[in-house]
Structure 1
Amino acid sequence: MTRPGGHPDPMTTRDPLHDPVLAGDRRALARAITLVESTRPDHRDRAAALLDGLRAVTQAQALRIGLSGTPGVGKSTFIETFGLMLTGQGQRVAVLAVDPSSARTGGSILGDKTRMDYLTRDPKAFIRPSPASSHLGGVARRTREAVSLCEAAGFDVVLIETVGVGQSETLVAQISDLFVLLLAPAGGDELQGVKRGIMEIADLILVNKADGELKSTARRTVADYAGALRLLRKRPNDPDGFPKALAVSALESSGLEKAWSEMQSLADWRRANGYWDATRAEQAAHWFAEEVRAGLLAQLDRPETRARMAEMARDVASGRRAARAAAVDLLEMLRGA
């Protein structure tokens, strides 16, 4: 069915997943995320239409919290305990856990869902492990779209767990509203090992395992990180006192209420002072540019382009052509394609 002018009526072309996702159906949400993660051209077209359709009828915004931490710091335990605390308060929580992928097969370990057994069974929670593939920083390329689907499904908080800690993890800042860095009690050498770049984007540093024999070590670690944070240049989108470091224990569920209160306080301040909307607008522009770049790179993967590149590479390697001249010719060929 079409409307006047020949345009399709959105009410009759609506994707079958549209209404179930809006209703918060977790199975439909899982299928929708599978759709946006697919690389098949027909799936990509359908995913784009589904996302546009959902965006047209809902402006829901969840609190997006990026979470990263060193291996063994207890990210899964923290997320489960923290998530259960939030669902206990009536919040609906989605967890997008970006897992390590095999460099050989692209397969994903997908262990987080099995480690968060209690949260998995909570009707107010949704856990989705996704393979990171080769995307820089451990943030799956389509995680941003999965976040949008979770928001459309009515989740109040979306936790985005990323792989490891390093300079590349700054990519999570282009997806989340807040960035939380989870660290273990440590001494000076371990403190030196945490990269300055990851410290500069952290809104909150949580020192986990502040229990038992490590409790006093955790307190000293918090003091060390608090001192390090004071040496960083103050950011315009932070109120006084942020970023800050706190001690928590996921095992004993201590410090989590305080951490959640600080997250809410920072998010509220940014909303009230215009930084929330401005940051989301900047993120949208960033991902538009990324999609354009990805589209251009996809052109290089066409068989005829690969064949032409291989031919030019042989000419360059043999010295028959200069690298720059060959690159210019290839770009000209792509423009004419």
Structure 2
Amino acid sequence: MASINRSDQFTATGAARAGGPGSLAGRTVSRVGFGAMQLERLRGDRGAAVALLRRAVELGIDHIDTAQFYGHGFVNEVIAEALRPEDDVLVVSKVGAEPDADGPIPLRLAQRPEQLRAGVEDNLKSLGVERIPLVNLRRADTGPGLRAEGDQLVDMDDQLAVLTALRDEGKIGEIGLSSVTPEQLRRGLPAGIACVQNAYSLVARGDEEMLELCVAEGIAWVPYFPLGSAFAGMPKVTDEPAVIAAARAQGSTPAQIGLAWLLHHAPNVLLIPGTADPEHLRANVDAGALTLDEATLAALDAVPTRSGDIALD
């Protein structure tokens, strides 16, 4: 990871970086970022969506995670409208799926190389940029959730080849991987991997080996489902007695404790919690300022991992 000095504590707008400074795609960013998927809930009030993103910038967030298939381009368009060049926000996108308005769910896989290229082009257009600093490849080898089959079963080397070509063309800056195994990450290392996005939380730590590999390789770890799965029947961080006790002692919420634990757990962790609510946004930012003492961390570390195979984001 890149070295961090005192000047890195503040964003380009002068706000203290939410969660402190971290490193992603060769630059310093806030360790607490913003996952933009839930902005689709504000489709009926575009002004509120723009205002929420402006509030995120004011609160010291300069790392936003998005995708063209979030709201069929709506989310990217709002980001393009809300952000200003002087904000210097790192916008990260992903490819590997596309909208499917007529399907049983409004999303389908788009894993073939030509689909990945088209996905990058669509992201460039809706974000209104000529280059995306970081694009994550969303794989679909595990579930529950969308599983690759038929012509969507694509070798990762073929996918990395097209992303590397797009990087050489200057259309993307760095390459990330999402929903991958340690073996796949090792296969991808020669291509230059900037981050990994996998399902990971206090109650789902099956990827500890891969997290350690990312620390060793200087790769950012950006977990989705950071508070456990939202799917019925799967464990939630906020239900754990140790988390509830820590929240009570800290005067915070269980969700904030779950996010704070991730930031304390490894130096390369960056968070992208999502919300469509300004108060929830502020609570997520405040989680980045929590300090957990050794006794609290030990109690949280003792919580057993309760799930391994979690649905894709």
Q: Does the TM-score normalized on the shorter chain lie above 0.5?
A: no
How does the TM-score come out when normalised to structure 2? 0.34
TM-score, normalised relative to structure 1: 0.32
Instruction: Pick the structure with more helix per residue.
Output: 1
Structure with bigger RCO (C-alpha 8 Å, 6+ apart)? 2
Structure whose CA Rg is larger: 1
